[in-house]
Copies of this chain bind each other. A is one copy, B any other.
Amino acid sequence: MVNKSTEIIARYQAIRAHSEKICVSLELEDYVVQPIADVSPPKWHLGHTTWFFETFILKAYQPNYKDFDSRYNYVFNSYYENLGARILRTDRGNLSRPSVSQIYLYRRYVDEQMMILLQQNNENQDFFNLVELGLQHEQQHQELLATDIKFILGHNPLFPYYTDEHVNDSRSDDSQEFIFLNEGIYEIGHQGRGFCFDNELGRHKVYLQQFEIATQLVTNAEYLEFVDSGAYTDFRHWHAEGWDWVKRNLISAPLYWHQVDAQWHSYTSSGLNKIIGTDPVCHISYYEASAYASWKGMRLPTEAEWEVAIEKLSWGLRWEWTGSAYLPYPGFKRATGAIGEYNGKFMVNQMVLRGASVATPPGHSRASYRNFFHPHQQWQFSGIRLAR
């Protein structure tokens, strides 16, 4: 078990460091703001992921553990009703304190305590499971950090740069192909011994009708045809609620798209740039994804179709909206206690996204992963794959 401990210590250090690396080019002010309720301040993410280790691990396994600051439970609890009162989600951006430097000190303090604990507790599987959950949780927040930073900078009238590293995520192959799968019984859900969330269990049979699924994601150039067709002013391909959303919010293109001198640009990590036609379209709501598919005479794949076809698909650049609502798998069981609030209580009014995106941290994607957001949300790195 020494190996296990060594391995997890290395993993712990690498993952914790990665969160901070994401923030390295921020101005201190960028850590603080919350332009919309969905977007949390980066400093809150850094504090909350630390609070997760403190609350679920240090307080449980470290005898005589002394809080860094007992008031942080109120500040950094996200949604755990089991763990008491907490600030309103919409107030996260109103808190100037704790300061960023205090939060970095908090991270140092908790990391040190965790190091001690990790070196001691090398035979307790429950403990290792919780550490693993904490790391997976931190990785989820790494993606949110990237997503929220983009929103914060991309909604600033000065359109600041985030990085000069350009991520090339264009579709290498220009041809859109569909692969065919026969009707029949398939299996979905997590398998193997690796980590997964409770919502991916248990593996079970599903019956699928025959279908075809695209091997590539829809590109900006393809989506632009939809925009240019007047789709945002034509109710026909939209859900009723999607159409209300378009009109109420004056939506006329994906998030971050701006017309400059009659040409479409989008905000990227290196500022406002012309749209690259071969890139997969990004920052699309479910309403838009579904309307686009309908306009093409097709549909979105279900999550089961996606999972059974995944080996033959090119994926990982965008979270892919599926046509499946986020619901429990057969036999789904929540964990007991606060951890049981992790997934189950969100299983209503959301749609499943599958895959991963350019913002997903390395090693945090797998075929059975179930991401989920509300149909109107655009701020994720979300795109479209077609089925029929």
Contact = CB atoms under 8 A, between A and B. Distances in A.
Interface of A: 27-35, 43, 71, 74-75, 79, 81-82, 87, 91, 93-100, 152-153, 155-158, 160, 183, 185, 204-207, 209, 235-236, 238-243, 286-287, 290, 299, 323-325, 327-328, 330-331, 341, 345-349, 351, 375
B209 A330 contact: yes
A94 B155 contact: yes
22 contacts: A27-B96, A27-B99, A28-B99, A29-B29, A32-B33, A33-B95, A34-B94, A35-B91, A75-B157, A81-B235, A82-B236, A93-B93, A97-B153, A205-B209, A238-B345, A239-B345, A242-B348, A243-B345, A299-B328, A323-B328, A325-B327, A349-B349
Contacts of A331: 209
B375 A349 contact: yes
Given A87-B157, A158-B97, A348 B286 contact: yes
A190 B366 CA distance: 37
A160 B209 contact: no
A328 to B, nearest CB: 8
A158 B157 CA distance: 32
Given A94-B152, A325-B325, 19 more contacts: A29-B31, A29-B32, A32-B32, A33-B94, A75-B158, A79-B240, A96-B152, A185-B207, A209-B331, A238-B345, A239-B345, A239-B346, A239-B347, A239-B348, A240-B345, A243-B345, A286-B348, A348-B351, A349-B349
